[in-house]
Amino acid sequence: AQSVAQPEDQVNVAEGNPLTVKCTYSVSGNPYLFWYVQYPNRGLQFLLKYITGDNLVKGSYGFEAEFNKSQTSFHLKKPSALVSDSALYFCAVRGYNNNDMRFGAGTRLTVKP
């Protein structure tokens, strides 16, 4: 079965600095990879996904993610962090013909002014 690891429980960055939230995955065959964000007392909101094609995927709110097949990674990035980016971020993976979307444990991003 597919799985996702988010090695950092917490990431702290200063406003204006670049941010990276790490994700590695395990799946049989080609992966479908997703990033979601969760604000307090809210459901998860979709940010971006990688299905096929260009390894650099651009999404909502200036976020992007880079798919690296050799390292089985899909790190989330943003060139310049905002205080409003502070939230819980989840990486998720699905395999081809597999409907179960598996989520990582989440990484709490804190952006300080």
Which residues in this chain contact other proteins in the complex, by CB under 8 A? Answer: 4, 32, 34, 36, 41-46, 49, 51, 90, 92, 94-106
CB-wise, 26 or 103, nearer to other proteins?
Answer: 103
How far is 35 from 90, CA to CA, in rounded Å? 6
Handedness of CA 55, 70, 47, 89 (dihedral sign): negative
The minimum distance between CB 47 and other proteins, in angstroms, equals 9
* DSSP codes joined into one string, 48-90: EEE-SS-SEEE-GGG-EEEEETTTTEEEEEESS--GGG-EEEE
The minimum distance between CB 93 and other proteins, in angstroms, equals 10
Smallest CA-to-CA distance from 21 within 38, 35, 33, 3 is with 35
The minimum distance between CB 14 and other proteins, in angstroms, equals 25
CB-wise, 11 or 92, nearer to other proteins?
Answer: 92
The minimum distance between CB 15 and other proteins, in angstroms, equals 26
CB-wise, 4 or 13, nearer to other proteins?
Answer: 4
